[in-house]
Amino acid sequence: MCKSRTTVMRYSQYFIPTVKETPSDAEVISHKLMLRAGMIRRLAAGIYNYLPLGLRSIRKVEAIVREEMNRAGAIEMLMPAVQPAELWKESGRWEFYGKELLRFKDRKDNEFCMGPTHEEVVTDLIRKEVRSYRQLPINLYQIQGKFRDEIRPRFGLMRGREFIMKDAYSFDVNEAGADVSYAKMYKAYRRIFERCGLKFRAVEADTGSIGGTSSHEFMVLADSGEDAIVSCSACEYAANMEKAETRNAPACEHADPRPLERVTTPGQKSVEEVAAFLGVNGAQVVKTLVLLADGEPVLALLRGDYDLNEIKLKNHLGCAEIEMAGDDVVQKVTGAPSGYAGPVGLPGKVKVVADLSLQGLHNFVVGANAADTHLKNVNLERDFSVDGFVDLRNVVLGDACPRCESGTLEIWRGIEVGHVFKLGTKYSKALKAGYLDADGKEQIIYMGCYGIGIGRTVAACIEQNHDENGIIFPIPIAPFQCIVSALSAKEDAVKETSEAIYQELLEAGIEVLLDDRDERPGFKFKDADLIGIPLRIVVGAKNLADGRVELKERRSGAVELLTIAEAVAKVKATVKEALQA
RNA sequence: CGGAAUGUAGCGCAGCCUGGUAGCGCACCUGCUUCGGGAGCAGGGGGCCGGAGGUUCGAAUCCUCUCAUUCCGACCA
C-alpha cells in the first residue's frame, strides 16, 4: 500500500474546507451545498476552483464517461483550449457565434478564441488526415476545459463560463453510417446517466448554434432546472420547450365577421390589461410583437394567451440573431408607441408572420397602430393579410401531443447534462473534409457531435440527491464511498480500531476517508452528512467496549451495530453492488 | 444589453441617512473545562471600509467617475 495515498485520505491531512453558513450569492441547492461542502470555490464570475472533494466526484463522472465512450468505440484524444480565428471564419461561426465566443489577439495581432466547442478543430484534423473510406468511421472524444462567455453565469457549476466537458465527434462515410454512430452515442449516454444514478429524460431538441439536422438533449429532472421540457402523457414523445410542437386544433368557431370597430384604450398596453378593459378573454386578443431579425423588423402575431418561441421564429426566418425591438423601432414600424402595435393599416411594408393558432380565429382584438387605441372584431383576409402561418408559440400544459391521438403534453423542469447532434455535412462541407470512396470518387464526410457537461452532471446529481443535512451522493460518483469517524480520536482503542478498519477498507479497494480529527462528535457527524459520503462507520468508545461499531447509511439514515468484521464486509458488499455497471 | 442593488476582517453582516476612537456573529490562535449531532468560559491576532478623484479642519459616511459582484429581464450547449 502506497504510503502517500493513505496519508491524504486522513481528514486531518486532507483539504475539505466546509462552512456552516450558506454563502449569500448561491441560489440553487447544488451551488450552496458544493460551496458549503468545500467542493468548489469561486475565482471569478462563472469560474471556479475545483477543490479535492469536488474534483474526486468530477473524476468519477469522467471515469464513467470514459468507460462508456470507449465501450461504444470512441477514441480519446485532447485538443487545445485556444483556437485560431481562421478556422472559425472558415466555418462561418466567427460571425455567427456572437459574444459568447471569447476572442482575443496574440502578440502578433493574430485573432484567437477560447474554444467553446471543437467542431472546427476536430474537422480540420480529420480533413488533413483522412483520405480514404477505409479510415472511416471514426469517433474521437476528449474531456477538456471549455470557455463560453455566458451573458449571465449563475448557479455555480450549472452555468459556469469555464467548465469541463466531454465532447465527441463522429465521422462517417454517409448518412446511414452517421445514424449508426448517433444511435451508439445515444445508447452510451443512457448508460452513463443511469450509472451516475440520475433520473433523466432524453428529449428532442433544437440544434442551436452548433447546427445540424437533429438532436436529443439528456435532461436531469429537477425543479431548479433552467430548461422546460415537454413530454406526452401517453406516448414516448419528449422534447424541450424550444422544439416542442403540438397538434394545432383549428379554432372551432365559425362566427360571422362583425364590423371592424375602433376603441379607445387609454394606458392599456399588455394583453391582460386590454382583455380586462374590453371584457374579453386573452385568447381573443392577438398580440403583435415587433422584432428585429438580423436588424430587419418583423411582426409576429400570436394569440394573447400564448408566448412567442423565438427559436421557432428564428428557424422560420433563417436568421442568425433575433431580438425584441426597442421603442424607437416600434414607433418607426407601427407609427405608435409600443403596446399598440397591430397588423392592420401598417404605415410601411414589413414582414408579418402569424402563429398557427390564428387560423380560424375571428373577431379578435389588435392594437391600432395609434396611441391608446385598439381595434375590435378584426378578421384575417378582410382586414389584413400575413406572409405565412407558422408554429411560433411555446406549447402549454394540456396541449395535444403531436405524435399520438390521445396524449396531452406535460411540462417539467430539467437540467441539460448531455446533448447529441446529427451534424450532417455542415462542418465537413465548410471545411472541405472529404474522402475517396471505393470507386475513387471524392465524397463528403457525415458528422455527429456529442457533449456532456461533466461539472454540470455532478451539480445535477446534487440537485436530485440531498436533504436538509447536505449532499447524499450515489456511490458511483461519491468522492469517497465510506467515511470512518473516529470519535474521541485520542483514546487508544478508538484510534487503533478506526485505523485498522481504515486500512482494511483501503486494502479492499474501498475509497475511504478516515476522520481522525480532534473534533467533537457532533461536528464530525455534521461534516460527514454535509459532504454526502454514502456510508459511515462510527467508532466510539462505548460501542467499542462491546466490540461493536456503527454503520450508518447516509441516504436512509439506517443504523446498524455490527462487529468490525461485519461492518467491513457490509461496506465492501454494498459498494460492490452499487458499482455493478 | 435594459432595470435594481451591493462592495467594511477568511465568511455572514451592522455602522453611512445625521461626517469626528471601525464594530458584531462565525471562523482562526492560546489556556482551562467539555466530548454521540456544528460546546462553554477567559484571553488574543487580524482592516488602505473595492479603486481614483473631489468637498471638508476632518470622509467608511457627502459628491463625481471607475471597477467588481449579485438579483430581475432579455439572451444562451
Beta bridge partners of A264: A373
Our measurement of CA A54 to C1' B34, in angstroms, reads 34
Cβ within 8 Å of residue A163, ≥6 positions away = A145, A146, A148, A157, A453, A454, A455, A456
Q: What's the pLDDT tens digit per position in A510-568?
A: 999 999 999 999 999 999 999 999 999 999 999 999 999 999 999 999 999 999 999 99
pLDDT at residue A409, rounded to an integer: 92
Our measurement of CA A319 to C1' B42, in angstroms, reads 72
- Taking 90 as the threshold, does the pLDDT of residue A294 lie above it? no
- Taking 70 as the threshold, does the pLDDT of residue A7 lie above it? no
On chain B, which bases lie within 7 A of the protein's CB atoms?
A: 1, 11-13, 25-27, 34-39, 68-77
Q: What ipTM did this prediction achieve? A: 0.90
pLDDT at residue A2, rounded to an integer: 47
- Taking 60 as the threshold, does the pLDDT of residue A66 lie above it? yes
Our measurement of CA A351 to C1' B31, in angstroms, reads 81
Cβ of A561 near strand B (under 7 Å)? The reply is no
Per residue in A502-536, is it b (16+ CB within 10 Å) or e — as a string?
bebbbeeebbbbbbbbebeeeebbbbbbbbbbbbb
Eight-class DSSP state of A231: E
Q: What are φ and ψ of residue A300, in 5° steps? A: -115, 130
Cβ of A540 near strand B (under 7 Å)? The reply is yes
Cβ of A294 near strand B (under 7 Å)? The reply is no
Please tell me the total number of residues recorded for chain A in this structure. 581
Cβ neighbours, 10 Å, residue A42: 17
Cβ of A212 near strand B (under 7 Å)? The reply is no
Q: What's the pLDDT tens digit per position in A391-442?
A: 888 898 889 999 999 999 998 889 999 999 999 998 999 999 999 999 999 9
Rounded CA-CA distance A377/A535 in Å is 68
Q: Return the higher-pLDDT residue of A581 and A228.
A: A228
Across chain A, what does the average pLDDT equal? 90
Q: Which three cell numbers stand for residue A121?
A: 478543430
Q: Select, from the ranges A160-169, A315-324, A344-353, the one with the highest average predicted confidence (pLDDT).
A: A160-169
pLDDT at residue A211, rounded to an integer: 60
Rounded CA-CA distance A534/A557 in Å is 10
Q: Which three cell numbers stand for residue A369?
A: 397602430
A153: nearest nucleotide, CA–C1' criterion: B76
pLDDT at residue A252, rounded to an integer: 57
Q: Residue A523, CB half-sphere, CA atoms under 13 Å: how many?
A: 12
Q: Using a 7 Å CB cutoff, list residues 406-425 of A near strand B.
A: 416-419
Torsion of CA A464, A468, A474, A477, to 10 degrees: 90
Our measurement of CA A88 to C1' B77, in angstroms, reads 17
The C-alpha angle with vertex A215 and arms to A57 and A312, in degrees rounded to 5, equals 120
A14-23, A241-250, A256-265: which has the minimum mean pLDDT?
Answer: A241-250
pLDDT at residue A4, rounded to an integer: 46
- Taking 70 as the threshold, does the pLDDT of residue A263 lie above it? yes
A3-12, A325-334, A352-361: which has the minimum mean pLDDT?
Answer: A3-12
Q: Using a 7 Å CB cutoff, list residues 463-502 of A near strand B.
A: 469, 487-488
CB-CB contact of A502 with A465 (8 Å): no
Q: Using a 7 Å CB cutoff, list residues 443-462 of A near strand B.
A: 451-453, 456
Q: Select, from the ranges A301-310, A346-355, A515-524, the one with the highest average predicted confidence (pLDDT).
A: A515-524
Our measurement of CA A201 to C1' B6, in angstroms, reads 39
Structure confidence at residue A212 as a pLDDT band (50, 70, 90): low
Q: What is the mean pLDDT of residues A185-214?
A: 86
pLDDT at residue A140, rounded to an integer: 98
Our measurement of CA A42 to C1' B34, in angstroms, reads 37
Cβ within 8 Å of residue A228, ≥6 positions away = A240, A241, A394, A411, A412, A413, A414
A322: nearest nucleotide, CA–C1' criterion: B75
Rounded CA-CA distance A20/A527 in Å is 9
Q: Using a 7 Å CB cutoff, list residues 95-124 of A near strand B.
A: 98, 100
CB-CB contact of A478 with A544 (8 Å): no
Rounded CA-CA distance A506/A499 in Å is 10
Our measurement of CA A156 to C1' B40, in angstroms, reads 37
Rounded CA-CA distance A304/A300 in Å is 12
Q: Strand, helix or coil at A446?
A: strand
For chain A, give the percent of residues with pLDDT over 70: 96
